[in-house]
Amino acid sequence: MFKPFGTRVLVLRHKPKEVSDGGVFLAAGAQRPPHTGTVLAVGSECRHVSVGDEVYFPNHAGAWITVVGAPRDEQYVVLREEDLLGMTVPTSPVGTPDLETL
C-alpha cells in the first residue's frame, strides 16, 4: 500500500453516477467525475483528516497515481491536507450537523 509523507493524504475518488437522479442512464461522456473521495492513508503530519473520512477536493488538485494491485477502474489522488476543501460530517437524527463532533 501507499504511505504518504508529511501532510499529504491518499484519496480514492468516488465513481461517477451512471444513473441520474431522475433514473436516466448516463452515457460515459455525460458522466461527470465527482470531486469527492474516501481517505485511504494519511501522512504523519496530518491533523484534520483521518483514514475513512469522506472529503471534497478541487478538480485539478493533487497528483493522480496508480496503486499496484488495485483494480484498474479505481482512481487515486495524492493531495496536501491544506488543498482539501472540506469533509462530510456526521448529522444528528433531525438532519443538522452534530456540533459536538465538529
Residue that the C-alpha cell 477502474 belongs to: 73
Q: Which of 64-68, 77-81, 89-93, 97-101 has the lowest mean pLDDT?
A: 97-101
In a domain, 92, yes or no: no
Q: What is the mean pLDDT of the chain?
A: 82
- Binning the chain into helix, strand and coil, the percentages to the nearest 5 are 10, 30, 60
Kindly write down the DSSP assignment for every residue of 65-76, as one continuous string: E--TTS-TT--E
- Count: domains in the chain: 1
What confidence score (pLDDT) does residue 84 get? 95
* Residue 3 included in any domain: no
Average pLDDT over residues 28-36: 71
CATH number at residue 39: 2.30.33.40
Whether 99 is in a domain gets the answer no
Is residue 91 in some structural domain? Answer: no
